[in-house]
Structure 1
């Protein structure tokens, strides 16, 4: 299996200048159009595909991101693993703006997002999938990203769970204090459902979050769009350098067993009628 890395991110990470031999690919999927064109190329000789979650003009709010189309398009382009970045607020004093966090779980507080490819619609995978959600993130891939952050000398936190809110508004103080009382580390609008959809496709997935603010639980330090963008602009280079380093290391690993196990887990979680064969779920390479 030739390694090919899918990268989902925001500002800076979709810049084709980080890729050699970059080319844009327009795609249509059974779930509609992805957020933007996909950009295919190489980093250090490793094939990659980049997509901007919110579009390169950042004109798609979190609820309206076509997560299913984004993930499906990456699958159709034969990515082996997916790494993603998100911005987030911190719910812990010691997790300061500018730090990186590698979450190991999520708490879903969204209510408007379709979280499965198996929705019963015509032309979509048939059956019902009951897939274990734990772990959300592939541990081998997560540890690789953590190692890259350590090598680069970044301040990071190697675990913690994020509460994913619907957005696009920020939390009220009451909400923020409740999330903090749950011992959550992060609050974000984009932690769901990417990792869950990647699991359905049998693609190992891991996420790095860039802390931009303290949400609004901390007296005198309330999140604003201005403060978030200022912190993001000052620190987005960290995610870029992290991913460029990680891609090279990912390319040195044989992911065949990891991918095979992930696809088997997804396949075995599907319940179908007695007259439906499992291969019929695959318009293309679904379980290949």
Structure 2
């Protein structure tokens, strides 16, 4: 068994949690550059916690400039075992209304301006993301949400767009009607892929703020309305996060779905052909299989 260490990636409002002990901001250096911000570490109900502001405090990073590799590396470097991503999204479904949460289990990745892998020339690896979120961790998030009285949907496909602009009406209709997406956002990719490469269990909690632009009764995305909904969602998000330590426990067995062993057979480059500098950069995310 190993010690549970829960990482929460999301907005700064999620971190004002009553009962967080030994809270302190920690600077972490990574081979991939600086993370979005310092990381807030602490202990909640006997379980180690790490909070990372995805966009940085004050919202200084756009979805395209978030340093996703540095963020995931920093969490792995701090010993995190489980990553809960909390993010805003738009809805393509009438029954998935603003204020509801969706526990994402699939993604359509339409981002194009981001580095999507820790691996590359000198050390090639291929991991499976057929099931990109961890069912065990997602189930804990579902239980936490229902216990908190949150209207939550278990399962949904998240369309990850590049942004920072919102969808055109034609795009919104296509994603909803032809592609079958349920929600749309800008930040869960490549975050989920990188978490899998780093052998971290990953769950996506998508907080609905709007109906994108497809809904005939709501029209285009209204930013002030999104901000108002976000404020209410942040309160719910804190309540969900506050319940996770009791559900996950201070100690954990290996992930029954293999998230923490994703690299077991993934690295294809022969040991003698691996680039030493690349291997050095992978010390945190892939050290288990490279040493």
TM over 0.5: yes
Contact 2:199 / 2:285 at 8 angstroms: preserved in 1? no
Distance 1:262 1:244, change over 3 A: same
Which consecutive residues of structure 1, in runs of 5 or more, have no partner in the other structure? 121-125
Following the alignment from structure 2 to structure 1, what is the Cα–Cα distance between the partners of residues 82 and 242? 14
1:285 is displaced (CA, Å) by 6.5
Q: Which residue in the other structure is 2:247 paired with?
A: 249
Contact 2:8 / 2:51 at 8 angstroms: preserved in 1? yes
1:219 paired with 2:220, answer no
1:187 paired with 2:184, answer yes
**Offset from partner CA, 1:73-127 (integer Å, 9 cap, x none):** 000000111111010000011110000100110001111111100133xxxxx51
Match of 1:133 among 115, 129, 133: 129
Following the alignment from structure 2 to structure 1, what is the Cα–Cα distance between the partners of residues 269 and 260? 16
Contact 1:4 / 1:251 at 8 angstroms: preserved in 2? no
Following the alignment from structure 2 to structure 1, what is the Cα–Cα distance between the partners of residues 223 and 106? 26
Output the TM-score relative to the length of structure 1. Answer: 0.92
Give the secondary-structure state (helix, strand or coil) at the position aligned to 2:60: coil
Distance 1:154 1:284, change over 3 A: closer
Q: Which residue in the other structure is 1:29 paired with?
A: 30
1:70-81, aligned counterparts within 5 Å? 70-81=71-82
Following the alignment from structure 2 to structure 1, what is the Cα–Cα distance between the partners of residues 38 and 256? 25
Distance 1:59 1:245, change over 3 A: same
Following the alignment from structure 1 to structure 2, what is the Cα–Cα distance between the partners of residues 259 and 128? 26
Match of 1:202 among 184, 199, 211: 199
Following the alignment from structure 2 to structure 1, what is the Cα–Cα distance between the partners of residues 157 and 77? 30
Give the secondary-structure state (helix, strand or coil) at the position aligned to 2:231: helix
Contact 1:91 / 1:215 at 8 angstroms: preserved in 2? yes
1:65 is displaced (CA, Å) by 0.1
Q: Which residue in the other structure is 1:123 paired with?
A: none
**Offset from partner CA, 1:28-70 (integer Å, 9 cap, x none):** 2000000000011011121111100000101110000001100
Give the secondary-structure state (helix, strand or coil) at the position aligned to 1:198: helix
Match of 1:272 among 269, 275, 283: 269
Q: Which residue in the other structure is 1:286 paired with?
A: 286
1:156 is displaced (CA, Å) by 1.1
Contact 1:16 / 1:39 at 8 angstroms: preserved in 2? no
Contact 1:137 / 1:207 at 8 angstroms: preserved in 2? yes
Following the alignment from structure 1 to structure 2, what is the Cα–Cα distance between the partners of residues 55 and 110? 20
Contact 1:14 / 1:56 at 8 angstroms: preserved in 2? no
Count of paired positions: 282
Which consecutive residues of structure 2, in runs of 5 or more, have no partner in the other structure? none
Q: Which residue in the other structure is 2:230 paired with?
A: 232
Distance 1:180 1:260, change over 3 A: closer
Distance 1:278 1:41, change over 3 A: farther
**Offset from partner CA, 1:117-166 (integer Å, 9 cap, x none):** 0133xxxxx51111111110011111111111122221111011010100
1:258 paired with 2:255, answer yes
**Offset from partner CA, 1:152-209 (integer Å, 9 cap, x none):** 2211110110101001100000000001112211010112111110100111110101
Give the secondary-structure state (helix, strand or coil) at the position aligned to 1:207: strand
Following the alignment from structure 2 to structure 1, what is the Cα–Cα distance between the partners of residues 109 and 72? 19
Distance 1:229 1:32, change over 3 A: same
Following the alignment from structure 2 to structure 1, what is the Cα–Cα distance between the partners of residues 187 and 70? 15
1:27 is displaced (CA, Å) by 1.5
Output the TM-score relative to the length of structure 2. Answer: 0.91
1:13 is displaced (CA, Å) by 1.6
